[in-house]
Chain A
């Protein structure tokens, strides 16, 4: 045993005043008695019967000296040397990824076990060691800066919680490496289950890397995919995937909920280390959300240690569909390209009957114009005649020298160089600007009139090879995006921890997100807010309040579709770039301080001292009434 602060032992000199005070205090109170004759006998008897009386007389002093000794030794910070995992300047990376919620260890989760290990390591820190604690979740978080104060480190470690997200190890290691750049004896200590992921991207670490693995079992079942898609004229199709990460076959009940109500529940056997696809085309037509969950059948001996990935959520893709009316006397090219585009619901009208009534996001007029142009957005292809909006000129075949306006965002990916156009009509429209032009005039014009977005392709698609080129779907997609900008949500499925970018419409007054646990978060009213509170897997509801006080609810799902987290089999080695890190051995020498135990013992001694003092000074119990009759009965002759 050695001391970290041996100078504190000088406080032992306090024993001198304690003894002096005791000697002064022991000047006994003098009390006169009628005779000490009997007292002498009693004291003699007592000392004869109990030889430790003299010791007992000084018991308080002995206890006080013992207490002082314990406190002085505790102040001197005694320690014993113990084997330690690491020493020096230590960056402790505490894996807080979703897989650390697995319960395959004693007394709680892997994360709790990691916390215990971390606390033990803090206890064996040497006097000169410094440590930082970094919680590695989707965003690495420094819980405690470099310090030698074990209390601070213990508090930081105990306050940490496991997340439900993937861990960003690259960022965490970068953070750790930054702190150790100038240190002499720098060590990175990773406590986790080793689910670190691809190795190539990790930054160079200046010091040694130690790894303390946590976890025992690989038994885990997960829903690794859940999606549904709607096909025109058919029921929506469900696709789900159950993965068994363990080495034994597992029985499981896969239950599917539609809009919160149980829709189906079926039992499956998932092969060891295998995937089981679940496909169903029996979903109801009209639904908005899906919830899939895995539950063990009764009597199953399979233990699923990670519950976080046993549920998955999906939102109906129908939400946010754009209605497009195609008025054409027959153009398969346009029809096909529109059908192939996601988020487009296509309606076909007949040029013979005329414009159907209805609310459409876009009307495509191909080689035909109604008498009165609809008030919707328009894509006019090969207009047959002039109109109030534009004036058609003659056909021209001067199609060479094609120029695409690259500075326009709509034309960023459009490559028109390889397109051949036989002829086109010159168009005059002062509201429109030419986006693609040839020597003879504009090949594509676009602009806004009275709040309507209108684009004109003044040629017959059958007279070009454009529909056969890859440019055609790109051009159509770019135009469609221009007509009807993206929804509030670019997509409706996210992984845990992923920030959700939103595009609020101009008339939005307020926006809030309801989390799976019912909590609500108000969103800042800016054009493109980002919602980052996606730690919980589940269904999130986005409520948009428009200026006319209508509330529009949109769902999006957040899932832990992360094989890296679901595959909970503990690793014994880590691969970081070119470095292979084996699990840490206790090779170094650490110091285990035990002043806390001494202080605790001191407290016990203090209590004993108090009890002894109390017993000695307490007032005598109420005097027994004198029994005069008894005294007389003892007289002779009675």
Chain B
């Protein structure tokens, strides 16, 4: 069992309770939720009038207007619906990597689990249909569907019990999940995006389902500026593959430039497909990603 961590404290919890997840591109709520739908529905919030057509519920006819103008008009009300929230956490071994003498608070998996739990908590509080899963091949663990505050504690327990191990093929894991998801909704992928097979097809599968996709790209500072030097054999914690590198100043500079290009590439691919992209460095406070970055994108309100 991994060490349980305090995912978030009470002040953060209170801040999260005031938030609601939004997916502007997803239109198909299944049950009544706490979210105003752009469909006309059955809530008490008046939205508009339209002419009566046969078959309309006569209870919705505005009798006062009819009395004054002799025109039958039907009152339309705002509809309130729930949202299907799919939270996907990359649980591969690379996410559990920490630099040998790095700050444990900057460990990617801790950071990612806090984000994961934070978003899940918002979702449960707002009565959304929450589905959580980790993407690490056969070791994937799911949570949900769940709805309502009552699932808060089990959700926390689930997140605390997660471990980063194994390999992840992002593309196939995403596609597999997209295939079994029934209802479109908000899909949040938290990953370091180290996937040699790519991620585009997986994201496209979700978009095809009518989901709104958010990618939170989590990296540790030591991955951007590696504190390494000398003749090294770098071992991939995920695959165990080695790569021999003679690291000098020029090589480091080359690597850092390559990391920038890679991040820019992911950002461009996401923008082209209407996928929200957020870069999260683990040295940034995690709640800032929710309270600030996701809010800016309109995913959180």
A-side interface residues toward B, CB under 8 Å?
Answer: 26, 28-43, 45-46, 56-57, 615-621, 623-624, 626, 628, 631-632, 634-638
Contact = CB atoms under 8 A, between A and B. Distances in A.
20 contacts: A28-B244, A29-B232, A29-B233, A32-B237, A33-B223, A33-B226, A33-B236, A33-B237, A34-B95, A34-B194, A35-B94, A38-B259, A42-B255, A43-B244, A615-B249, A628-B284, A631-B279, A634-B263, A636-B276, A637-B297
Across the A-B interface, the 6 shortest Cβ-Cβ residue pairs: A35-B194, A34-B97, A28-B233, A36-B243, A36-B236, A34-B94
Chain B, interface residues (CB within 8 Å), range: 35 or more
A56 to B, nearest CB: 8
Nearest to A26: B231
B196 interface: yes
- The binding surface of chain B is classed by DSSP as mixed
Contacts of A31: 100, 228, 232-235
B236 A620 contact: no
Contacts of B284: 628
Contact of B238 (A35, A46, A632): A35
A34 B279 CA distance: 17
B271 interface: yes
Given A34-B108, A36-B241, A638-B296, A28 B231 contact: yes
Interface of B: 94-95, 97, 100, 108, 192, 194-196, 220-221, 223-239, 241-246, 248-249, 251-252, 254-255, 258-259, 262-264, 267, 270-271, 276-279, 281, 283-284, 293, 296-297
Contacts of B230: 29, 616-617
Given A34-B108, A620-B252, A637-B296, A626 B231 contact: no
A32 B251 CA distance: 18
B100 A628 contact: no
Given A29-B230, A46-B254, A620-B252, A35 B192 contact: yes
B281 A626 contact: yes
B270 to A, nearest CB: 7
A30 B251 contact: no
A32 B220 contact: no
Nearest to B195: A37
- The binding surface of chain A is classed by DSSP as mixed
Given A32-B235, A635-B277, A46 B97 contact: no
With most chain B CB atoms within 10 A of its CB, the pick from A30, A42, A619 is A42
Nearest to B237: A32
Nearest to A50: B250
A66 to B, nearest CB: 20
Nearest to B284: A628
A42 B94 CA distance: 19
A37 B249 contact: no
Contacts of B259: 38
A575 to B, nearest CB: 73
Contacts of B254: 42, 45-46
A620 B229 CA distance: 7
B255 A38 contact: yes
A620 B224 CA distance: 14
A43 B231 contact: no
A533 B239 CA distance: 91
B279 A634 contact: yes
A633 to B, nearest CB: 10
Nearest to A615: B248
Given A42-B251, A620-B249, A635 B233 contact: no
A319 B104 CA distance: 105
A436 to B, nearest CB: 110
B277 A30 contact: no
A492 B236 CA distance: 100
B245 A43 contact: yes
A32 B241 CA distance: 10
Contacts of B229: 617-620
Contact of A635 (B224, B243, B262, B279): B279
B282 to A, nearest CB: 10
Contacts of A632: 279, 293
Contacts of A619: 229
Given A45-B254, A636-B267, A57 B246 contact: yes
B220 A626 contact: no
A628 B224 CA distance: 12
A45 B263 CA distance: 17
A620 B267 contact: no
A619 B248 CA distance: 9
Nearest to B279: A631
Contacts of B108: 34
